[in-house]
Amino acid sequence: MEHDHARPARRRLLTGAAALAAAAALTPLTAAASPAPRRRTSRGESGYPPVQWVPASTANYTTADRPGQYPVEMVVVHVTQETYPDTLRLFQNPAHKAAAHYVVRSADGHIAQCVSERNVAWHAGNWDFNTRSIGIEHEGWIDDPTWFTDPLYERSARLTAAVCARYGIPLDREHIIGHVEVPGTDHTDPGEYWDWARYLQLVTEASWRYTG
């Protein structure tokens, strides 16, 4: 069901018992079961933090050739409303019809890359925004700020700074937005406890470190 001009809506991440049922139905998250071998990559020369490749199902994104086919103009910040491992399982489920480019773990800021930046991840619930953005999911729940740890903020900010440098995206709130700000969405993440002032400061500092 993947088409270049399809307009798939991002489905709400499953919670509670529904998520457990979905996870149980999927292949366990192991290197042997993944569609492609996991690997750790580092883009240190461009400021990217190390990431672990945990590919989403090809049914959950659109193959593209960005930024040639579509310009990349913004970063969309999400909160998973799910645990890190269950989020990755959902993204590997071809029936889920949603995935983000990256997922950041709460405890230590570890980053999984699930969709190549050149492809259009189905994360924003708006086709136009999907084509023009990088989606970053953060492990946690919007009503519990304890999930938004220092490592999560810091590693995510470094990732966002690197993405913005790569595509020439301004480091401001018009171009680094929350899912709630995407037109037509019914999502409220990252929620009232996401510290935007702190996050933008960290993004700016990370940009200075590798471009100054």
For residues 32 and 97, give the distance between their C-alpha atoms in angstroms, rounded to a whole number.
23
Structure tokens at 43: 């883009």
> Catalytic residue among 137, 154, 181, 192, which?
137
192 is catalytic: no
Total number of residues shown for the chain: 212
CA atoms of 49 and 23, how far apart (whole Å): 28
Helix (H) or strand (E) holding 62: strand 61-62
Tokens of 116: 């190549």
| Per-position DSSP letters for 101-112, written without gaps between them | SEEE-TTT--EE
Question: Could you say which DSSP state residue 180 is in?
Answer: G
Q: Please tell me what DSSP assigns to residue 185.
A: -
CA distance 23 to 88: 9
Question: How far is the CA of 161 from the CAs of 7, 36, 98, 156, 173, in angstroms?
Answer: 28, 27, 24, 9, 13
At residue 142, the 3 state secondary structure works out as: coil
Q: Which residues pair with 76 in a beta bridge?
A: 135, 177
Which residues have a catalytic role annotated?
137
